[in-house]
Structure 1
């Protein structure tokens, strides 16, 4: 049996993203609750097609995916820091008779409040408070055909980039590498992006 080698993430946003995810989960993750979603998880980047959105929906309860889009003003004085542009993608379907557009917008507002509250910087282990927070409705005809509504909350925030985290301890990275198939067909036209660890196991 081969032991999977460790891979630490110094110089990246991975640890910061996990801190944000954990901070949001407390208020925004929960099953069968219309003002919460089934899953809050880190994401690999922007969504470009409706099929990509569909493949990451956790269920009719919806999901939130957190992605680092860019890092500016990288400095290495008393530790490596950078100003990160974040996007939180909120994806909803109709649930228990509540319209998906209303649920999605309400949860986007709750997320914006969560990252901007007084305790948020310490709770997310950020260097300072979130800035330039905005929310955008990403509705499109393609998403409408899939029965999905989507909002994005974006903001800028300075984080440390040299906090170590071992990817082998994070189960969601294994889920990112899963081949998602519905009725025998892949749900995405871009498996090379979604299946980042296709065929890899812990053995």
Structure 2
């Protein structure tokens, strides 16, 4: 039951992060045409990999926190793109979804052999219940690691490096949100 509460809390956090809207009264007072023009401007960037700054911030935030859960939001490419990568013929001409599922099976094998991670949840996504109508994700995954150091070692491992290209080939966009373990007693009063 506690695990279900944690998963529910993580999904709630992700939804809230993606649906934050300013409640600034001055913005509401803007002329209607200015609001409409602003709404047409898209500043959404696509993310597949990390940056040095995001790694540093993650490490500084979660080092020594114990278990860490990674919330993954995924948007698949219509067709996998292996440009610049060597790949077997069996992976050519696959959809992004098929390629990601192949990648995920390889990651599960690594987890089975090394016990470094655990996929808590994987499911196809739909429209937000709370969130922007124009933002769509194809899948949601929750992966638990014993610690941030375990996650870092996993990502750097030779076994993972052999399969990570399939992730890049399959995804159009993604989000990876780390969260530390919080018990109900630690939640603010």
> Larger radius of gyration, structure 1 or 2?
2
Normalised by the length of structure 1, the TM-score is: 0.28
Higher strand share: 1
Higher helix share: 2
Normalised by the length of structure 2, the TM-score is: 0.30
